[in-house]
Amino acid sequence: MSLLNIENLSNAIGDKAILKGLSLSINAGEIHAIMGPNGAGKSTLAYTLGGRPGYDVTGGSVEFDGKDLLELEPHERAAAGLFLGFQYPVEIPGVSNLQFLRESLNNQRKARGQEALSGGEFIRLAKEKAGLLSLDMEMLKRPVNVGFSGGEKKRNEMVQMGILDPKLAILDETDSGLDIDALRVVGHGINSIMRKPDKAVLLITHYQRLLDYVQPDFVHVLAAGRIVKSGGPELALELEREGYAHIVEAEGASA
Amino acid sequence: MSALPVPSRRQEDWRYSDIEAVASVWPLPEPTAITVGEGEEAAHLLLQDAADGSVAVHDYVIDVAAGGNCIFHLLNIGGKLGRVTFRVTLGKGAHFGLHGAMIGGGTQTLEIITSVTHAEPDGTSEQVIRSILGEKAVGSYLGRIEVARHAQKTDASQSVKAMLLDRTATANAKPELEIYADDVKCAHGCAVGELDKQALFYMASRGMEPRAAQSLLLRAFVAGVFDGIADEEDRQRFESAALAKLDALAHRGDAGGEGA
Amino acid sequence: MSEEVEIRDAEARAAAARVADYEHGWSSEIEQEFAPKGLSEDTVRFISAKKEEPEWMLEWRLKAYRYWLTMETPDWAKLNIPPIDYQDAYYYAAPKQKDKLQSLDEVDPEILRVYEKLGIPIEEQKVLAGVEGARKVAVDAVFDSVSVATTFRKELEDAGVIFRSISEAIREFPELVKKWLGKVVPMHDNYFAALNCAVFSDGTFVYVPEGVRCPMELSTYFRINAENTGQFERTLIVADKGAYVSYLEGCTAPQRDENQLHAAVVELVTLDDAEIKYSTVQNWYPGDAEGKGGIYNFVTKRALCQGKNSKVSWTQVETGSAITWKYPSCVLNGENSVGEFYSVAVTNNYQQADTGTKMIHNGKGSRSTIISKGISAGRSDNTYRGLVRVAPQAEGVRNFTQCDSLLLGDQCGAHTVPYIEVRNPSATIEHEATTSKISDDQLFYAMQRGLDQESAVALIVNGFAKEVLQQLPMEFAVEAQKLLGISLEGSVG
């Protein structure tokens, strides 16, 4: 049974239509990558699934883990097990990462009818996940993303993912701004947190390089608001070699 | 206008003023009106260097229509009382820039009073004020920025710095914000201090005379205020007037023996 | 901040999410003994007689009353204040006492229940319940106008600390009171200070002798309980040479339809090397969502840092009252004396707050820090008004001021009115101000992690105010964080 099932999804930001009938199905245990040229609607897809205000759905449906995702508020989607790794993680001055995450996690647990984690349990969990991503525990005591380098922000997103333990992670250009070493650490983090039979990942990326570390089961090409081609890992290599224009033209997509 | 009584210090805009001096020229003439039309650009200058002991009050009412741009350069150094006021209203996307310096000595009272109203969205304003005050001079900047309820995306800044040369001089500042819109960027900074002692020592260690070092630092402090004056001749006129005033201040101790 | 503290912070906020609208909106029924309605010399005499005051005190009050008659009601630009009918209020109300109380057990159970409803922090409840080993917090509870319970008097007395209701202090330590009462805030200082001098009903007196570090935090809970009873508290705290005391003031008020006036006066004095830390959480009834009712909070708070190296630190979290007019100030006379002001003011619905501080630098090397965080929501107006003044003889003064405003919604106002007056060239004065809102990005990010909108707003607002909240003692920090969340409920979305 599919964990995420997107059917014919269309949306608009203001008057501008971005997604135009996108369909995609992801099963538990799978890792999917979406690639595509700038302006194809990759980030829009991520934000729309996250429920960002202003990203109005104009058609289609999204089912997530048996629920109508589009009916849920952003925090309800999070509690249902959807995690969005932001391309540009947001700074929240004065609020420490630990505070932020503990409150988020316990809100999610409460929504799921689970007991809140105690302070000690939470700290142990945070230490473990920070260690996984080689992020200094001290960083987690600092305000959310404030003064973090680009690479630190992205690693912090992965630590958050580890702590919140979602069913589905949608990672929007998590590889951008990372050097080679950081890329390896992040890739390792994604694998150890999310590569499980009951979880799935949707990687949104421009480049093949992250896929060297996180081997996708399926690769899709997004252009002009639709999936124009799907294939296995070899498709990413083909894109890297041939460029998007070639494939997009071949599939006859037009904006 | 003439029916109005002489103001008192109880009135906000007059709280630091020299009321006696004002009374001697009361009633004041009508303010100068400057209207900048839609999309137009305007640049204005005022070099207030009235004679010693005289009273100079300049009031401006400035309206900048949508997309208009008004830049004002001001050097306020003359008179027993030198008071320059601006009441500015900005239309949509309009800009107002005030670049002003006050340099005072003796028993001068120098004032720059501004009230900038961002009445429509997307307006910007920038005020840069530098004051240097010696002897018994009083220099005051009262700057009010008002952002109206629907004037979203307003960006208003005030940068106010004052330098006192003697413990008998006074610097007053009131950089005031009145904000009624939530999506705005308003920041003000204000600093009062003395010349950087470390810089003075550093310069002395390189063999520079204390007075020369001080004068150099003071010049640096006001430098830049007049950079934006387009006309080369005008700019030089402002700069040399400022320098002459600074030199006069720097030599203030020569007669009486009270140095900096 | 330690991990443990972080966690406790988070717990406090989680608790806040569960707290309902205005939880202190009730009125307990305790028999009142009223002064006749209205204000006259007779009222002043009645109060003074009730308090069994010495003649000099009555004279002092009458002088203040006569002076008050000559004063005009102040007219503040920023505040929209309906006229107050001073003859239509009671100036004295005391819970009827059975006899002199010997211990807390004898306190009217109704009053104890009131404290419970108020959510007095657990530690203090334990103290009230007499639990062994409970953290030592002395509570001098002011219920309406009269002190009804004082704990820990013995231990404080052993340390030499005098902690009394001001009426008791006037009777027991007249010389000490006489020496400082009205010296920091003179009776002619302002309209409400004069009124307070004439009719103050009770309050607190603290004296910490030379070299003594007060062995516990002193805490007072103020409550306004009787309908139409103006509350006029008087607090005087003197820290002698080298002494230290931390004083906590917190208040809530029951829900009433008619506006109530509160005009307290707080005077602090620090001598050489002494320090007073004064923390306030003010959560009085702010009026309803339509702006009806609520407390008028016109308070004069001032500290005299008289001694060298003396220090006063004001920390306040102001979330309540319909109208707040309050400028806890420091007169820094002592060489190298230090003044601090940390403030969070939240206004929602139709609340008006005009608050800030005055730092008067008269002493050489005196330093001050001002951190003000204003949060406006609904149709409220929130003003920071402050003065930093440096006298000609005050060499080497430093001040740093940071005023940040956060606007929630586009129907409120945020105002910053800083006055800077410098007459000494060696002063270093820095002032910064910013205005911002909670960005949509921040809100979405926090919600994507699982927080509902109100929790997300509360979290972000607490982050905005953190520099101030971390100045508070732990019990207060927890309460203050709750209050911020509660005060802003329904303000976004």
Chains with ≥3 CB–CB distances under 8 Å to C = A, B
What per-residue confidence (pLDDT) applies to B88?
Answer: 98
What per-residue confidence (pLDDT) applies to A192?
Answer: 93
| CA-based nearest residue to C466, from A243, B92, A96, B29 | A96
Q: Check C6 against A52: CB less than 8 A apart.
A: no
A29-A35-A37 Cα angle (round to 5): 165
Nearest by CB to C415, from B167, B175, B178: name it: B178
Nearest chain C Cα distance for residue A154, angstroms: 14
Residue A18, pLDDT > 50, answer: yes
User: Which of B179, B185, B195 would best serve as a mutation to test chain C binding (most C beta carbons within 10 A)?
Assistant: B179
Backbone phi, psi, residue C256, to 5°: -140, 155
Among A163-172, C48-57, C267-276, the minimum mean pLDDT is found in C48-57
Q: Does A138 touch chain C (CB under 8 A)?
A: no
Q: Does C6 touch chain A (CB under 8 A)?
A: yes
Section B41-55 average pLDDT: 96
Which chain B residue is nearest to residue C408, measuring alpha carbons? B182
Task: Give dist(CA C325, CA C323) in Å, integer.
Answer: 7
Query: Chain A contacts of C453, Cβ < 8 Å?
Result: 73, 75
Nearest chain B Cα distance for residue C433, angstroms: 5
Query: Of all helices (H) and strands (E), which one includes residue C402?
Result: strand C398-408
Nearest chain C Cα distance for residue B39, angstroms: 28
What per-residue confidence (pLDDT) applies to C147?
Answer: 45
CA dihedral of residues A202, A206, A211, A216 (deg, nearest 10): 40
Structural domain for B182, as ranges:
12-194
Nearest chain C Cα distance for residue B212, angstroms: 19
Tokens found for residue C299:
């308070």
Q: With H, G, I as helix, E, B as strand and everything else as coil, classify residue C210.
A: coil
Inside any domain, residue B142: yes
Task: Give dist(CA C328, CA C341) in Å, integer.
Answer: 8
* pLDDT (tens digit per residue) in C223-232: 454 444 557 8
Alpha-carbon A27 to chain mean position: 15
Q: Which residues of B9-23 are buried (b: 16+ CB within 10 A; e: fewer)?
A: eeeeebbbbbbebbe
Which chain A residue is nearest to residue C493, measuring alpha carbons? A53
Chains with ≥3 CB–CB distances under 8 Å to A = C
C190-C194-C197 Cα angle (round to 5): 140
* pLDDT (tens digit per residue) in C91-138: 776 655 434 444 455 555 655 555 555 555 545 544 444 444 444 556
Helices and strands, counts by H and E, chain C: 13, 24
Query: Chain B contacts of C393, Cβ < 8 Å?
Result: 167
Query: Chain C contacts of A106, Cβ < 8 Å?
Result: 10, 14
Task: Give dist(CA B139, CA B166) in Å, integer.
Answer: 13
What per-residue confidence (pLDDT) applies to B136?
Answer: 95
Q: Check A106 against C14: CB less than 8 A apart.
A: yes
Number of structural domains chain B divides into: 1
Inside any domain, residue B125: yes
* pLDDT (tens digit per residue) in C45-103: 988 988 889 999 999 999 999 999 999 887 765 566 677 788 877 777 665 543 444 44
Q: Which fold has domain A2-250?
A: Rossmann fold (3.40.50)
Asked if B199 and C438 count as a contact pair (C-beta separation under 8 A), the reply is: no
User: Which of A104, A109, A124 would best serve as a mutation to test chain C binding (most C beta carbons within 10 A)?
Assistant: A104
**Confidence class for position A243, pLDDT limits 50, 70, 90:** confident
Nearest by CB to B167, from C418, C424, C430: name it: C424
Q: With H, G, I as helix, E, B as strand and everything else as coil, classify residue B181.
A: coil
CB neighbour list of residue B24: distance below 8 Å, 6 or more residues apart: B55
Neighbours of C136 (CB within 10 A): 14
Q: Does C450 touch chain A (CB under 8 A)?
A: yes
Residue C479, pLDDT > 90, answer: no
Neighbours of C368 (CB within 10 A): 26
Q: Check A107 against C447: CB less than 8 A apart.
A: no
Which chain A residue is nearest to residue C7, measuring alpha carbons? A119
Please report how the helices A180-194 and A119-132 are oriented relative to each other, as an axis angle in degrees rounded to 10: 130
Which chain B residue is nearest to residue C76, measuring alpha carbons? B12
Cβ pairs B/C, distance under 8 A: 118
Task: Give dist(CA C428, CA C432) in Å, integer.
Answer: 13
Nearest chain C Cα distance for residue B169, angstroms: 6
Residue C397, pLDDT > 90, answer: yes
Cβ pairs A/C, distance under 8 A: 110
Inside any domain, residue B108: yes
Residue C369, pLDDT > 70, answer: yes
Euclidean distance between the first and final Cα of chain C, in Å? 32
Task: Give dist(CA C295, CA C321) in Å, integer.
Answer: 5
Nearest by CB to A94, from C451, C456, C463: name it: C463
Asked if A76 and A107 count as a contact pair (C-beta separation under 8 A), the reply is: no
* pLDDT (tens digit per residue) in B213-251: 888 888 888 888 999 999 999 999 999 999 999 988 877
C240-C242-C248 Cα angle (round to 5): 70
Chains with ≥3 CB–CB distances under 8 Å to B = C
Section A195-206 average pLDDT: 94
Q: Does A125 touch chain C (CB under 8 A)?
A: no
DSSP-assigned letter for residue B231: S
What per-residue confidence (pLDDT) applies to A254?
Answer: 46
Residue A231, pLDDT > 50, answer: yes
B257 vs B217, B260, C104, CA distance in Å? 22, 10, 72
The proportion of chain B whose per-residue pLDDT surpasses 90, expressed as a percent, equals 73
Q: Does C465 touch chain A (CB under 8 A)?
A: yes
The length of chain C in residues reads 493
Among B140-149, C60-69, C398-407, C433-442, the minimum mean pLDDT is found in C433-442
Residue type, A53: P
Find the DSSP H helices in C255-333.
Answer: none
Q: Check A95 against C13: CB less than 8 A apart.
A: no
Binning chain A into helix, strand and coil, the percentages to the nearest 5 are 40, 30, 30
Query: Chain C contacts of A105, Cβ < 8 Å?
Result: 450
Query: Of all helices (H) and strands (E), which one includes residue C175?
Result: helix C174-180
* pLDDT (tens digit per residue) in C128-165: 444 444 445 566 555 544 443 455 667 788 899 998 88
CB neighbour list of residue B167: distance below 8 Å, 6 or more residues apart: C392, C393, C423, C424, C425, C426
Torsional sign, CA A35, A37, A38, A39: negative
Which chain C residue is nearest to residue A53, measuring alpha carbons? C444
Query: What is the radius of gyration, based on Cα positions, of chain B?
Result: 19
Residue B31, pLDDT > 80, answer: yes
C403 vs B39, C168, C417, CA distance in Å? 35, 40, 10
Task: Give dist(CA A218, CA A234) in Å, integer.
Answer: 9
What per-residue confidence (pLDDT) applies to C126?
Answer: 47
Inside any domain, residue B233: no
ipTM for the whole complex: 0.89
* pLDDT (tens digit per residue) in A35-82: 988 888 999 999 999 998 889 899 999 999 999 999 999 999 999 999
Q: Does A142 touch chain C (CB under 8 A)?
A: no
Task: Give dist(CA A69, CA A45) in Å, integer.
Answer: 13
Residue with tokens 């008659």: C69
Among C275-279, C334-338, C484-488, the minimum mean pLDDT is found in C484-488
What per-residue confidence (pLDDT) applies to C216?
Answer: 82
Inside any domain, residue B114: yes
Peptide bond preceding C186: is omega within 30 degrees of 0, i.e. cis? no
Helices and strands, counts by H and E, chain B: 5, 12
* pLDDT (tens digit per residue) in A93-141: 888 899 889 989 998 999 999 999 998 999 999 999 999 888 888 989 9
* pLDDT (tens digit per residue) in B80-94: 999 999 999 999 999
Asked if C430 and C399 count as a contact pair (C-beta separation under 8 A), the reply is: yes
Burial class of residue C26 in the structure, from the number of CB atoms within 10 Å of its CB (0-12 exposed, 13-18 middle, 19+ buried):
exposed
* pLDDT (tens digit per residue) in C381-395: 999 999 999 999 999
Asked if C287 and C257 count as a contact pair (C-beta separation under 8 A), the reply is: no
Which chain A residue is nearest to residue C465, measuring alpha carbons? A94
Inside any domain, residue B35: yes
